[in-house]
Amino acid sequence: MSAEEANCELCTTIVDAVEDYVTQDLTPDEILAEIEAKVCPIFPSLFESFCKNFIEDNLAPILDDLSDQLQPYAICKNLGLCTTPPPPSNIYFLFFVLLGIFFPYIK
């Protein structure tokens, strides 16, 4: 995994957590406290400080983008942390695997 992919994955994980806390009707200050206390510590120590700085600097734009119904990948792309297309969802992957398996039999 490249550094860019790691940053994108870290960002989308944090945004997913913020989205979960938003659905619990927490205030921005409560969300910040929850992310710093429960989400950032799950990352290796090198990324934990990045996580805390990231959420402190970007919580407001993340909340704005979530209110605009953007998905975590799109939010992280807006923040400049995701620049490559997201990986296909599992259903599309499964479809293409099955298509590859059965394609020789389709005439």
Query: Of 93, 84, 70, 87, which is closest to residue 18 (Cα–Cα)?
Result: 70
Looking at residue 1, its pLDDT comes to 66
Length of the chain, in residues: 107
For the question of whether the overall pTM of this predicted structure is more than 0.85, the answer is no
Which tens digits make up the pLDDT trace of 66-102?
999 999 999 999 999 998 776 555 444 444 444 444 4
Which tens digits make up the pLDDT trace of 9-67?
899 999 999 999 999 999 999 999 999 999 999 988 888 998 999 999 999 999 999 99
What DSSP line would sit under 64-82, residue for residue? HHHHTT--HHHHHHHTTS-
| Four-CA torsion 5, 10, 13, 14, nearest 10 degrees | -140
39: helix, strand or coil: helix
